[in-house]
Structure 1
């Protein structure tokens, strides 16, 4: 990094503030020393690489019967963007599903992907119930199709495997589908020229019921910190909890050598499928255990 970049100024200001306090007692002095330690930890993980913190906004959409169905389709177990190191909630903030016009997502085509199996359980709205299970099962199949597509493999060995559970539907009788959208703000690290490719990786881990991409990069912004009331530059490491910092660097270290490579994204998607089913199954087991305990 250059001597006059915001990140360099953030490092120098954190160090100088700690030196000013030295070993003095008091909360302000202790905070200055903690800040300097956090910045030094960031620098140690950076290892001289020009890497910046970025925040991307991804919009994800899905067809759903109503608000409860949209929650199952967008904000619980399925359609969560995955980093290279997996699902990292501490690096993501997610809004609530909102109804949107089909024109906002390319017309009515989005309505053609909805699991037929979910319609069979449309009245079972309990969390972890039959409706949500149908969505989870369909999404795992969709992730498998997306992985195969990225690897250049024929997604399905037979036509029945392709359509089982998510046949093309547009307006199921008695329960018209509508398009719902949710926004994610996701943190990640990127080197020079990598920011969009890294955001695109995150978007590629979210698919519709056919395995096609279902996320859009709406915005990307670098976060180099800010100037505080005393005119000092606050390093971005000081705006994050230690677990988030560790996750960011572990994720970047895993991605640095093959940013944007289809095979790498396919591997993330494969692990995502295992993770989605595992978290859903564990939730079912906990729910079953709680019911048994109350009998």
Structure 2
């Protein structure tokens, strides 16, 4: 099997390049080799490589910056996945794509399921939903994996920001009224590999399992709760106090859903179990 992996230097892409080894030839590309903002290049690269499976973690993920760059965010998150899906369909290939809890508005108080109606409240969420819809419309066998609050030990993410601020400040004031599930990028990559292993049966399997799935760590917390867990598990010479604040006290350009916990019951029944967010965090922070 020939696997085309996008965004190899991103948090999830970096882990996927490792986890997908052994399933065939993994052709991992960075932005210089395949820029999702250049739709012609996306088509040309796929036609040259002729993959059996496209795995697309690459995305425009700067949630606040997207508010001022909606066209670029839409091209990368909305249009490029549609182009990939069209090209994959022509090749008889399958596609794995990653989306976000931010396709929901946060008005629920129980975990969102795959058949709940999306209603994004920021540009990033709108563009990611557009990508989902484009893939679904293409007719390609696909798995769209929605995840949330992704972190790891490289790149830019909330975990690394907290570890940096913990060394600089005696108190961290963190939003405590937004609820979600922190998800380690390695969890996403390992679950993806487990799915690909099951999919080695061929096209009929991909068609049968094709659809939308939620993939996050088990459980839920707030950003303040996540911060407290990071401080408790990290090796720090000084441990700052964590004070929970309201969203209104920390205004940002993009609105965030107050509740974006997503139910992973469908994925666990279909593919595999998922770790709790607390256990995954402990593993991530192990020296």
After TM superposition, the score normalised by the length of structure 1 is 0.25
- Which of 1 and 2 has greater Rg? 1
Higher relative contact order (CA 8 A, sep 6+): 1
After TM superposition, the score normalised by the length of structure 2 is 0.26
